[in-house]
Structure 1
Amino acid sequence: MGSTKYIMSMGELTRKDNSLCFRKDGKNVYIPIENTKEIYCLNEVSVNSKLLDFLGQNQMVIHFFNYYEGYSGTFYPRDYYNSGKLLIRQVKTFENSRMDIAKAIVNGIGINMSEILYHYYKHDKKEVKDTIDWLKKEFPSRVDTAVKPAELMAYEGEAWSKFYGTFKYFLPEDFIMNKRVKRPPDNPINAMISFGNTLLYTKTISAIYRTHLDQRISFLHEPAEARFSLSLDISEVFKPVIVYRTIFELVNNRRLQVDKHFDKKVNYCLLNEEGRKIFVEAFEQRMETVFMHSRLKRKVSYRTAIKLDCYKLIKFILEDEKFVPFSLKENI
Structure 2
Amino acid sequence: MESYYLFSNGELARKDNVIRLTRKDGQFKDLKVELTRDIFLFGEVSLNTKCLVFLSQKRIPLHLFNYYGNYSGSFYPREKNVSGELLVNQVTANVDCQHRLNLAKKFVLGASQNIVRNLKYYLRRGKDVSEQLTVIESLIKAIPLSTSIDQLMGIEGDIHRNYYSAWPNIFNDDTGFVSRVRRPPDNMVNTLISFLNMMMYSSCLSEIYVSQLNPTISYLHSPSERRFSLCLDLSEIFKPLIVDRLIFSLVNKRVVTPDSFEKGSNGCYMKKNTILKVSRAYDEYLRKTIMHRQLHRKVSYRHLVRLECYKLIKDLMDEKEYQPFKIWW
Tell me whether the two structures share a fold, i.e. TM-score over 0.5. Answer: yes
- Whether contact under 8 Å (1:290, 1:302) holds in the other structure is yes
CA distance in 2, matches of 1:176, 1:98: 39
CA contact (8 A) 1:114 1:132 kept: yes
Q: Which position in structure 1 is the counterpart of 2:277? A: 278
Q: Which moved more, 1:146-155 or 1:246-255?
A: 146-155
- 1:174 to partner: Cα distance: 3.9
What is the percentage of aligned positions where both structures have the same residue? 37
Partner of 2:3: 4
Q: Which moved more, 1:8-17 or 1:228-237?
A: 8-17
Query: Who is 2:166 aligned against?
Result: 166
- 2:130 is matched with 129
Aligned to 1:236: 236
Verify the 8 A CA contact 1:101 1:219 in the aligned structure 2.
Answer: yes
Paired residues for 1:114-263 under 5 Å: 114-125=116-127, 127-136=128-137, 138-224=138-224, 226-259=226-259, 261-263=260-262
Deviation (angstroms), 1:225: 6.0
The answer to which of 275-284 and 165-174 deviates more is: 165-174
Which residue matches 2:306?
A: 307
| 1:316 corresponding residue in structure 2 | 315
Letter in structure 2 aligned against 1:176: G
Runs of 5+ in structure 1 lacking a partner?
A: none
Aligned residue number for residue 14 of structure 2: 15
Deviation for aligned residue 1:186: 1.6
Is contact 1:167-1:176 (8 Å) kept? no
Instruction: Please tell me whether the aligned partners of residues 246 and 283 of structure 1 are also in contact (alpha carbons under 8 angstroms).
Output: yes
Say if 2:171 and 2:252, in contact at 8 Å, map to a contact too: yes
TM-score, L = length of structure 1: 0.94
Secondary structure (helix, strand or coil) at the match of 1:37 reads: strand
1:72 is paired with a residue whose SS is strand
Q: Cα deviations across residues 185-235 of structure 1 (Å, max 9, x unaligned)?
A: 121001100000000000000000111111111000000265300010011
- Please give the root-mean-square deviation of Cα atoms over the aligned residues, in Å: 1.5
Structure 1 distance, partners of 2:261, 2:7, is 15
Q: When the two structures are superposed, what TM-score results if normalisation uses the length of structure 2?
A: 0.95
Question: Which sits farther off after the overlay, 273-282 or 127-136?
Answer: 127-136
* Paired position in structure 2 for 1:328: 327
Task: Name 2:103's counterpart in structure 1.
Answer: 101
CA contact (8 A) 2:93 2:316 kept: yes
Secondary structure in 2 matching 1:32: strand
Q: Aligned with 1:113: secondary structure?
A: helix
Contact 1:9 1:44 in 2 (8 A): yes
In the TM superposition, residue 37 of structure 1 has moved relative to its aligned partner by: 1.5
Q: Which amino acid aligns with 2:316?
A: I
Structure 1 runs of 4+ off > 3 angstroms?
none
- 2:208–2:306 contact (8 Å) kept in structure 1: yes
Shift in alpha-carbon separation, 1:226–1:238, aligned structure 2, 3 A: farther
Aligned partner letter, 1:107: L
Corresponding position of 1:288: 287
What is the letter of the counterpart of residue 147 of structure 2? V
Shift of 1:116: 0.8
Q: Deviations over 1:41-77 (max 9, x none)?
A: 1132211001001111211111111234222111122
Q: Distance in 2 between matches of 1:44 and 1:182?
A: 24
Shift in CA distance, 268/50, structure 1 to aligned 2, threshold 3 Å: same
Secondary structure of the corresponding residue to residue 30 of structure 1: strand
**Aligned positions, number:** 326
Q: Where do 5+ consecutive residues of structure 2 fail to align?
A: none
Structure 1 residue 134: Cα displacement: 2.5
Distance of 1:187 and 1:300 partners within structure 2:
34
Indicate the larger mover: 276-285 or 229-238. 276-285
Question: Is the Cα contact below 8 Å between 1:111 and 1:135 reproduced in 2?
Answer: no
The CA distance in 2 between the partners of 1:228 and 1:92, in whole Å, is 18
| Equivalent residues of 2:177, 2:190 under 8 A apart | yes
Range with bigger deviation, 30-39 or 230-239: 30-39
Rounded Cα–Cα distance in structure 1 between residues aligned with 2:174 and 2:129: 19
Partners of 1:182 and 1:27 in 2: CA distance: 38
